[in-house]
Amino acid sequence: MTIEQLLKQSEASPTSAHVRSVFGESVRVGDRTVIPVARVRGAFGIGFGEGKQEEREETESGQGGGGGGWFSARPVAVVEMTADRGRVLPVVDLTRIVLMSILIGGWSIFWCSRVMGRRQ
């Protein structure tokens, strides 16, 4: 695979990132319109190299390349619109809250035990 082929494949990635990735399809429920909102993140990397092996009598050359990426979407809110008003209702992620509580609790216990151990 040449560098030109790798670059051509990477051109498709930005076209898949559009506003529908963040704001979902609106849904009408009675007189209300609900629009889901997500946080979308992504990264992409590409590399290419070529070289010659000069230790042998017959000089061999080689080339290689590759690329990779990831995209992540997480719901963060819902926009609710009526004829009178619009409001944003955040999505609460209980798993994150519990994990952060465990982390902070463990961190507090660690430091308290360190301080108490030095006093003795």
> In the chain, where are the structural domains located?
3-91
Burial 50-78 (b: 16+ CB within 10 A, else e): eeeeeeeeeeeeeeeeeeeeeeeeeeeeb
User: For the whole model, what pTM was predicted?
Assistant: 0.52
Q: Tokens 């151990």 map to which residue?
A: 117
Residues comprising the chain, all counted: 120
Contact by Cβ (8 Å): 45, 67 = yes
Give pLDDT tens digits for 11-61.
655 555 555 666 778 889 889 999 888 888 888 787 778 877 666 666 677
CA 27 to chain CA centroid, Å, is 26
Bridge partners of 62?
A: 51
Which residue from 49, 78, 76, 83 is spatially nearest to 63, judged by alpha carbons? 49
Name the band, by pLDDT with cuts 50, 70 and 90, for residue 74.
confident
103: how many CB neighbours lie within 10 A of its CB? 10
At 102 the pLDDT is 96
